[in-house]
Amino acid sequence: MNRLKLPGLLAALLFTASAGHAQQVKVLKLPELQKRLAKPSDTTYVVNFWATWCAPCIKELPYFEQANAAYAGKKVKVLLVSMDYVSQLDKKVKPFVLKRGLKSEVLLLNETDPNSWIDKVEPKWSGSIPFTLMVNNSRQKRAVFEREFTQAELTSELQKFMK
């Protein structure tokens, strides 16, 4: 009886653990995001601002996932920053991340007044999403894209940035 129970329990535990991991969406305020993007490291951050309600964003998410996988272990970090309201975290964002099985790190920026923070992220950004930022601080490189990517465009822009 005990023998039978244990593997089942283990499997259940493992399942909860992995499901819990996939579901992780860190909620943060702007200063924390700024601090992360200002680290003087040789990591290239690919920061995509998206939302579960934004159709073109959802369309290009797989391309960022693909880049995340392709550059794994190569000092490239994909951050998917959700613009969803924090009130939608459990209702919309977490289920979405789980359903899509997103592997890239997902953050939710919990700020209400875009006029007070958009310029601090990037003055050239007018506020429409999707918006993507590529940053490498030790190489002092920065590129901004206020538009939707095709997979080929993202690949070539990232290659160009990494050169």
Partner 1 sequence: MKKLLPFLASLLLLAVLSSYTRPLAGYQIGDKAADFKLKNVDGKMVSLAGNKAAKGYIVVFTCNTCPYAKAYEQRIMDLHTKYAAQGYPVVAINPNDPAVAPGDAFAEMQKRAKDKKYAFPYLQDETQEVARQFGATRTPHLYVLTRQGSGFVVSYIGAIDDNSEDAKLVKTKYLENAMTEIMAGKPASVNSTKAVGCTIKWKKA
Interface residues with partner 1 (CB under 8 A)? Answer: 53-54, 56, 83, 85, 87, 112-116, 118-119, 125-130, 146-148
Query: From the CB of 88, what's the least distance to partner 1, in Å?
Result: 9
Contact 143, 134 (CB under 8 A): yes
Interatomic CA distance for residues 47 and 1, integer angstroms: 51
Instruction: Using DSSP, state whether 67 is helix, strand or coil.
Output: helix
Q: In the numeric block, which tokens belong to residue 17?
A: 């653990």
Q: Cβ closer to partner 1: 102 or 109?
A: 109
Q: Which CB sits closer to partner 1, 71 or 145?
A: 145
Q: How far is the CB of 127 from partner 1 (least distance, A)?
A: 5
CA distances from 132 to 5, 10, 50, 99, 135 (A): 49, 41, 9, 23, 10
User: Please, what is the minimum distance in Å from the beta carbon of residue 119 to partner 1?
Assistant: 7
Query: Could you tell me the smallest distance in angstroms from the CB atom of residue 27 to partner 1?
Result: 15
The smaller minimum CB distance to partner 1, of residues 32 and 111, is found at 111
Which residue lies nearer to partner 1 by CB, 76 or 83?
Answer: 83
Q: What's the CA gap between 73 and 71, in Å, rounded?
A: 6
Give me Rg for the CA atoms of the chain: 18
